[in-house]
Structures are given as C-alpha cells and as structure tokens.
A and B are shown apart, each in its own frame.
Chain A
Amino acid sequence: MDIPESYISADEIASRIPDGALIGVPKEDGGVAMEVTRALVRRNARNLRLLTVPVSSMQADMLIGAGCLSEIETSGVSMGEFGYAPSFRRAVQDGTIVIRDATCPALYAELQASEKGSPFQPLRGIIGSDVLANRADWKVIDNPFAEGGSDPIVLLPAVRPDVALFHARYGDRYGNVWVGPKRECVLLAHASASTFVTVEEIWDGNLMEDERMLAGTIPPVYVDAVAHAERGAWPLSLANCYERDGKHLQSYVKAAKTPEGFTDYLKQHVYGEQAAA
C-alpha cells in the first residue's frame, strides 16, 4: 500500500506540537509513539507537560532526560524489569521537574470527565492517602445521594490535553486509525483538543466499513494528522506486531544512569543515523 497523500511525517507531527503543550500519552503496551518522541527531542521541544495514561516508561524518561518536560502528571514511571527510570528519578530527586502524583483510575476519570464535557468525575478510594493530600486540584465532597450519615467521595477535575499522541497498528487513506482493544487511546482522542497518530501499517480499504474493525477504529473527526512510522513504537512493543527490544531497553537504562551517558545515547539513537534502526 502506498502512503496516503494526507499523511505527514513523524517530524512534522513533532513540529505541530507547540512548546508548553499538555500531551496525553498511553502506557507502554498501549502503543507509544516513540518515533515522534525522538522527533520532539530533535526539535528541542521545551516546557511540555506530560500526562501519562496512566503510567509510562522510556517515553517519559527520555523526554525528561532531554529537558523537554517542565511537568509530569503520572501514576508511575518505571522501566519495569529493567529497573527504575533513571532520568525521571534524577529529575524528581533534584527538583528539576514538577511532579503531580496520581493513581491510575483517577487519570482515566480526569479524561472521562473531559470526554463527557463534565467539569469533574467522582471516584471511590484515595481518601487518606498522601496522593490526595498533595493534590489541591482534587476535591472531596459528601455524596449527595447517600442515605443517612456522611459519605465522602473524591472528585477529579476534567483534564483536556492539548494533544493526544500515540502509535496505532493501522491507518487507512480515509483518515481512520485502528487501535483495537486499546481503549485508553480512544479515551485520549475523545478527551483531547487535538490528536496526532503514527501508524504501523496502511490498511487497504475503509476501516469504518469493515464491521470487524469498526469498534476498534477512531474516525477522523477526532484525528488531526496521521504519519506512517514503521516500527514507530520501537524499542517498545506494539501488540500482536512486535515485542519490545529488551536488549536495547537494557542498554538505555544503563546509559541514562548518568547525564553524560544519556547524552551519548541521544547522539547515537536520536540524532544519529541509527535513529530508526
């Protein structure tokens, strides 16, 4: 399949994400747009704010290490079995990034409120935690439907990212993208002011006209631009397409343990010719 004429490049997507933007991104197995992440580092993006839905790994760590982020709202940043996320840990310990600690379903709820156009979404739990104690923007009210006695419940404000950014398995020439069961990407697209997607493969046909693909498809009304990026989630995985590159992730974690090592990594894999290896 030829690349549809309407498609732009990963670097063009990066150039259309302005400094200071609030970007919503999925967790590691949700389809992470790593090619655009590298492009954001290359264009020297600054003061981006990242909303991880609900957690992140190398994407957040690389953007932090490269100085692209001023703030992160997350339920966790970790390299999983490869250890802690070095740039994230360093930046939080040194106070060079604003951290807004959250818990997974609260981040979904913030987006669900935005999706519905509601000012907030209630959620059970969280009360008595220091997560709540450190979030002036999260409120506790008395459940107005409770019968007798008080019933405190947390309210999460609607959060509308400026940009939703993810990597999907298929895109077609009609502007549809298919994320399959990755509902967090659908939620992100619905909740955000704009959405940029990279796709692994071009689907021959119209995804909206195939009933087997329909439920997993995001139509163009939510999607501002699509880019073709083969192995666009590398070195992370894309479900049912390729596994994560464990050796590479291990070498990244090792390199990122020092700022010098991190800079060398960027030279080799982000600025260098091996960027799309």
Chain B
Amino acid sequence: MEYTREELLICAIARMLDGCKNIAVGTASPIPGSAALLVQALTGGASRASILGSDIHNPFNDGGPELFDRAGQGRVDAFFLGGGQIDGEANINLVSTGPYPEPDTRFPGSFGSAYLYFSVPRVILFREEHSRRVFVDKVDFISAPGWSPPGVHRPGGPYALITSLCIFRYDRERHRFRLDGLLPGATLEEVRDNTGFDFDCPDNIGPVAAPEPDRLALIHSRIAEEISETYPEFARTRLGWQG
C-alpha cells in the first residue's frame, strides 16, 4: 500500500481523537484539520470538527469569544498548538527567543495558548521542524506551561507531540515525553540528535502504524474535497484532490 507522509499523519492524529466529541482546529493547520474531518466522517457526525477559516465546517456564529467560552465550559475536547520552541516538560513558546521584551527573534505571539492549554483535555502539539532550535531543553518564554502544580484548576493539557520524524506521547504525571513511534525513514539516533530535551524511550521503538486502507480511501475522496474549501493547495498537492 502506498501512502504519503501527510496521509500517515492524518490517520495517526485521527486515532488520537478517538472519542472526542468536539474537535477544534486553529489557523494554518491542514493536516490536523483533515484528521478532524476524517473523525467526523467516520463517526457519522457524532464527533464534530470545527475548522477555523472554514465557512462550512465551523458550526458556530457568536464571534471570536465563542471558542474560548466553549473551551472554558469543557465543550472542546481536542485542539492543536505549535510553538517556536517546545521543551521536554511541554512548555511552549510562541513569543520570542532570547531576552524579553527585546528579543533576538520575535514570533507572532501566544494567541489563545495560555488559555486553551489549560482548558482543552487533549491538546496535540504539531511542529514539523524537528531540530534542536525548536525542541529545546528549556523554552526562553513560557506562552503556556506544560503542567501546573496541584491546586491550579487545569482540566486540560498536552497529549502528544507530532514532528516530521516521530510521535511522542506526553506523560502528565512525570511531565515528560515518551517516544511512541517513528515516521518512515527516521531513526532513533536521528530523533536523539535533533532533540534538545531528554525523553523516555521504550526498548523496541517501532514505526507509526500505517494508514487503515478504508480510511485512506476516505481521505482521497471525501476528506480531500472537504479540506479543499479551506486549504485548496494542500488538498491538490498532498491529497490528490482533482477539483
């Protein structure tokens, strides 16, 4: 069976979204968006995907605050975040490197991370560039902490980290990542060489499970069509959408 890296990741993320009723996807996220739409299709709509930037797949009408209000009530089960820097405790930095407030490199800003990381139970970190520049021992600025001390109200937090080389799962008790699977062509040595933080690793680390054939077929048909509304270029070049 042939499949692309994008299709593999869409299927891997879809497995992580199992049981999530409300899945929200933020800006510039075609792969997470496709995974959310795949889960929506597989569950016959019992799981609902809301894709930021989509007119069709965003069934809300109360403006910018609504996503955060829903998350605060526990009505968002899964969300995706990235980071200019991410460290081994899953602290994320979307603000800047070097000293603050006059930094070496300024990123856009924290967006909703300092809130959604606390309120959404399954936050999946998605950052394709797997390098020591991104995956650092300690972030220069904490946009949102990976964990909170007892006593801080926190139903949400990190669940997994997906990169161009591998997938990590996050252990909320120990505040550490554990390697869960390698992407095609990647090796454990390569992951270690390009990761600036320490992580746990099982003895026999294997590849990320291949896409399920029926799901792959669904991606090529319905999901490619649905995601093309928001990400036409991605649908065309990565999923073979013919529209």
> Contact residues of A with B, CB < 8 Å?
26-27, 29-30, 53-55, 74-78, 80-81, 84-85, 88-89, 92-95, 99, 101-106, 108, 112, 123-134, 149-153, 181-187
Contact = CB atoms under 8 A, between A and B. Distances in A.
A153 B68 contact: no
A76 B148 contact: no
A127 B152 contact: yes
A108 B109 contact: no
A149 B106 CA distance: 39
Given A78-B108, A152-B151, A104 B102 contact: no
Interface of B: 27-28, 53, 61-66, 68-69, 72, 94-96, 100-119, 141-145, 148-149, 151-154
Given A126-B118, A129-B142, A129-B144, A104 B111 contact: yes
A2 to B, nearest CB: 31
B109 A55 contact: yes
A103 B117 CA distance: 11
17 contacts: A55-B108, A74-B109, A84-B107, A93-B102, A95-B101, A103-B112, A104-B64, A105-B68, A106-B115, A108-B64, A125-B116, A125-B154, A127-B152, A151-B153, A183-B62, A183-B63, A183-B64
Contact of A124 (B100, B106, B153): B153
A52 B186 CA distance: 42
A53 B65 CA distance: 10
A182 B63 CA distance: 5
A104 B115 contact: yes
Nearest to A26: B64
A237 to B, nearest CB: 11
A124 B28 contact: no
A129 B151 contact: no
A217 to B, nearest CB: 14
Contacts, number: 149
* 10 closest cross-chain pairs (CB), A and B: A183-B63, A76-B109, A125-B118, A78-B108, A103-B114, A105-B68, A104-B112, A125-B115, A128-B145, A76-B108
B114 A30 contact: no
Nearest to A152: B152
A77 B101 CA distance: 15
Given A104-B64, A183-B63, A183-B65, A130 B109 contact: no
Nearest to A95: B102
Given A55-B111, A75-B111, 8 more contacts: A27-B64, A54-B64, A78-B109, A103-B143, A108-B68, A128-B148, A131-B143, A187-B65
Contacts of A128: 142, 145, 148-149, 152
B110 A101 contact: yes
A125 B109 contact: no
Contact of B142 (A106, A108, A130): A130
Contacts of B108: 55, 76-78, 84-85
Contacts of A75: 109-112
Contacts of B110: 75-76, 101-103, 129, 131
A125 B101 contact: no
B146 to A, nearest CB: 9
Nearest to B233: A81
Contacts of A105: 65, 68-69, 72, 112, 115
A88 B68 contact: no
A130 B143 contact: yes
A105 B115 CA distance: 7
A80 B115 contact: no
